[in-house]
Amino acid sequence: MAIEFTDPGTLSDDEREKGDVFAPEFGANGLIMAVVSEAATNQVLMVAHMNRQALGLTLETGIVHYYSRSRAALWKKGEISGETQKLIEMRTDCDQDVLLLRVEQAGRGAACHTGHKSCFFRKVKVAGDGEISLTNDAGAPLFDPAKVYKR
C-alpha cells in the first residue's frame, strides 16, 4: 500500500493545530523536517528531511527513511553504515510542518555521519571576553567514518 496524506490546505487553522487529522505540510521542495530523538532518553540525535515516500515507508515498515538532499534520493538511514533507526513513536507539531521521531538507534549507536551518537556533539561556549567557540563534550566518535563510508 502507498500511504496517502491529507492535504493541509483542506483543513481550517484550528483543525490543523488541534485536530486529529494528520496533514503533514511538505514544503515547496516536497520535504518536511524531522527532529530525531533517542526514545529512551529524549536526547536529540539529528535533524533530517522526509519526502512523502520516506514518510510513508517509515510508517509502513517502522524503520526510518529520509530523503537525502545532497544525493537527491530516498535514504534508508543506516543502509551503508548499519546505523539503522527503529521508529518507536512519531509526533507532529502544532502547525504540522515538523515531525518528531523518537527512535531506537541500532548499530554502534551513532546517528551522526561523523561517528558520534548525536550530531549535536559540540557545545557553543561564550567566554568572558565574548569570544565564541565550540567544545566537543561528547568524547570520541563511535566509529571511524573513513572506514565506514568508502566513496
Between 80 and 134, whose beta carbon lies closer to its own copies?
134
Query: Is residue 23 a contact partner of residue 7, using CB atoms and an 8 Å limit?
Result: yes
Per DSSP, helices labelled H in the chain are 13-18, 52-61, 145-148
Site of grid cell 514544503: 27
Q: Say how far apart CA 106 and CA 85 lie, in whole Å.
A: 6
By CB under 8 A, name the binding residues for its own copies: 1, 3, 5, 17-22, 33, 35, 37, 41-44, 46-47, 59, 89-94, 98-100, 112-114, 116, 119-124, 126, 130, 132-136
State in angstroms the smallest separation of the CB of 106 from its own copies.
20
CA distance 34 to 45: 11
CB 147 to its own copies: min, Å: 16
Report the nearest approach of its own copies to the CB of residue 109 (Å).
16
